[in-house]
Chains A and B, each alone.
Chain A
Amino acid sequence: MSVTVTTGIGSVEVRGVWKEYALASQRPRTLKEAVVEALRGRLPERPRTWALQDVGFRIEPGESFGIIGTNGSGKSTLLKLLTGISKPTLGTVDVHGKVSALLELGAGFHPDFSGRENTFLNGAILGLSRSQVAERFDSIVAFAELADHIDQPVKTYSSGMYMRLAFSIAVHVEPEILIIDEVLAVGDAAFQKKCIERIHGFRREGRTIIFVSHSHGQVAELCNRAAWLDRGVLRSVGPCEDVLVQYEAHLAGAGV
């Protein structure tokens, strides 16, 4: 087996990744349940269920990579591995560069604080320093179209305003790798168009984009390569059109 040395900033390498399901229902949740289990001498022997099985692929710097699959195919699990939130049971995930995931929208937002205060805290959580947020602040507010409300508490925001601010901060992190998880249903049609524009801008700047979806429309529009996940198994990796054709054929064949 040859091991590729990854050096490029913005590259992602996933090798032989297996991830075991931690099914909440299979784990004793309270001390009482744990004690009862222990007294009965019933060790937690359970069949291992895998959310991902031997998944491996490589994303080059500057690529727009789609990950497609139906619900329950393991996409979310894979995303958690790519962002470092959880660890593979077996195998390795190497991510080179600063990752920002558009699934982190509004992380740490506090309803009692103003949009301005939340922007600084959310920026810090996403890895920006105070001065970096200050530099980008006007641009963040302008993009979110919230100039009149930025000093109001976030709890007074409509859900659309809330998401616009959250999205705007996330795209201003300027990551080397941007992970997007079907969140483009943010705001009205005009704002969505602006989001797509922004993502195309990231592409032109040569940033790596990983786009996760179950619908082929946006993947076809945004990606040049793609991977298809089916019940935790990687069915194919390659040029976007080829993978989408196989995925569609499978969906048609399965009568979905």
Chain B
Amino acid sequence: MPLSFPDASLTTRPWLAYREMFLGLVEREVRARYRGSFLGFLWSLLNPLLLMGIYSLVFAVVMRIQVPHYALMLFAGLLPWTWFSTSLANGTASITANANLIKKVYFPLEILPLVSVSTNWVNFLFSLPVLGLFLAWEGLGPGWAILSLPLLMALQFLLTLGVSLILATLNAFYKDVEQLLGPVLMAWFYITPVVYPLSMLPADYAWLVHVNPMAPLVSAYQDLFLKGQWPGSPALALAAIEAIVIALLGLIFFRRRKFIFAEVV
């Protein structure tokens, strides 16, 4: 009995040949999300706006948090957070939700979580002009520091993709992950400085910033958009390293198991 295992190049299409499939799926997801709804694409703006209204009411009016430009700070943090959390929700389910496709066609399955993160990134980009408008209204803005936005987005992309790959793999075997994700994301939201500024975090909990790469990231977005501050905190540097490590781990974890997905989903 020969013991040689086939390599990954079983079928002959190289990675690049799946570019069209990837783009096609992202386009489909972006457009499918709002197809059939009256306001259509406007929802990708309305949702964070509604959230901003609710959180402003609760934290600025009821709990009287004293932070300048609170609503804007909230909005600047909600946009990257929404990209992150929606990507994770879609990405986790991406393998199980596409079971039909996986069982029928060969393609690099990494595409599916990648599509989730990319689709939500596109929605994030589409909502930036509204943020820009609000900032301009208040006489605020990032100025030249906007040039660092691609760096922040790249870090967040890597982090989100890495976590998505891990969760998608686990979810293929244990559907419980999907169920668990809601409460976990809610807890994650509250340990990330979106509804409060990073400076309000009590000293005893400062370590949270170092284990949660989303904390310095969201904070960097807020400082960038509201104060025009270039990113460069040591906490962000650590988050960058964490993002890269998580992305690599996610990829390895996913790739070692992807060939049995078609048999278990």
* Residues of A near any B CB (own CB < 8 A): 1, 15-16, 18, 22, 24, 27, 29-32, 34, 54, 80, 83-88, 90-99, 101, 103-104, 107-108, 110, 112-113, 117, 120-121, 124-130
Answer yes or no: B149 CB below 8 A from chain A CBs.
no
What residues of chain B lie closer than 8 Å to A93, measured between beta carbons?
6, 10
What residues of chain B lie closer than 8 Å to A83, measured between beta carbons?
11, 105-106
Contact with A along B7-21 (1 / 0, CB 8 A): 000111100010011
Q: B1 contacts A125, CB within 8 Å?
A: no
A120 to B21, CA, bound (A): 9
Contact with A along B237-265 (1 / 0, CB 8 A): 00000000000000000000001101110
What residues of chain A lie closer than 8 Å to B260, measured between beta carbons?
22, 86
What residues of chain A lie closer than 8 Å to B227, measured between beta carbons?
none
**CB of A84 to closest CB in B, whole Å:** 4
**CB of A20 to closest CB in B, whole Å:** 10
Contact with A along B25-67 (1 / 0, CB 8 A): 1011001100110000000000000000000000000000000
**CB of B36 to closest CB in A, whole Å:** 6
* Residues of B near any A CB (own CB < 8 A): 1-6, 10-13, 17, 20-21, 23-25, 27-28, 31-32, 35-36, 100-107, 173-177, 259-260, 262-264
Q: A22 contacts B263, CB within 8 Å?
A: yes
Q: A85 contacts B5, CB within 8 Å?
A: no
What residues of chain B lie closer than 8 Å to A16, measured between beta carbons?
1-2
9 intermolecular pairs with C-beta atoms under 8 Å apart: A15-B2, A22-B264, A24-B264, A27-B264, A85-B105, A85-B106, A113-B32, A120-B24, A121-B25
Q: B28 contacts A107, CB within 8 Å?
A: no
Closest to A121 in B: B24
A92 to B8, CA, bound (A): 12
Q: B104 contacts A104, CB within 8 Å?
A: yes
Q: A127 contacts B175, CB within 8 Å?
A: no
What residues of chain B lie closer than 8 Å to A29, measured between beta carbons?
174-175
A80 to B106, CA, bound (A): 9
A104 to B101, CA, bound (A): 8
A91 with B2, Cβ < 8 A, contacts A113-B28, A125-B101, A127-B17 known = yes
A84 with B11, Cβ < 8 A, contacts A94-B6, A127-B17 known = yes
What residues of chain B lie closer than 8 Å to A104, measured between beta carbons?
104-105
A120 to B25, CA, bound (A): 10
Q: A130 contacts B175, CB within 8 Å?
A: no
Q: A88 contacts B259, CB within 8 Å?
A: no
Q: A99 contacts B20, CB within 8 Å?
A: no
What residues of chain B lie closer than 8 Å to A96, measured between beta carbons?
12
What residues of chain A lie closer than 8 Å to B3, measured between beta carbons?
90
Closest to A93 in B: B6
Q: A112 contacts B262, CB within 8 Å?
A: no
Closest to B36 in A: A112
What residues of chain A lie closer than 8 Å to B262, measured between beta carbons?
80, 85-86
A97 with B2, Cβ < 8 A, contacts A110-B32, A125-B107 known = no
Q: A32 contacts B176, CB within 8 Å?
A: yes
What residues of chain B lie closer than 8 Å to A107, measured between beta carbons?
100-101, 104-105
A190 to B13, CA, bound (A): 34
Q: B5 contacts A98, CB within 8 Å?
A: no
A88 with B102, Cβ < 8 A, contacts A29-B174, A30-B176, A112-B32 known = no
Q: B21 contacts A90, CB within 8 Å?
A: no
A124 with B6, Cβ < 8 A, contacts A34-B174, A98-B13 known = no
A24 to B172, CA, bound (A): 12
Contact of A18 among B1, B11, B36, B263 (CB under 8 A): B1
What residues of chain B lie closer than 8 Å to A91, measured between beta carbons?
1-2, 4
A87 with B259, Cβ < 8 A, contacts A16-B1, A54-B1 known = yes
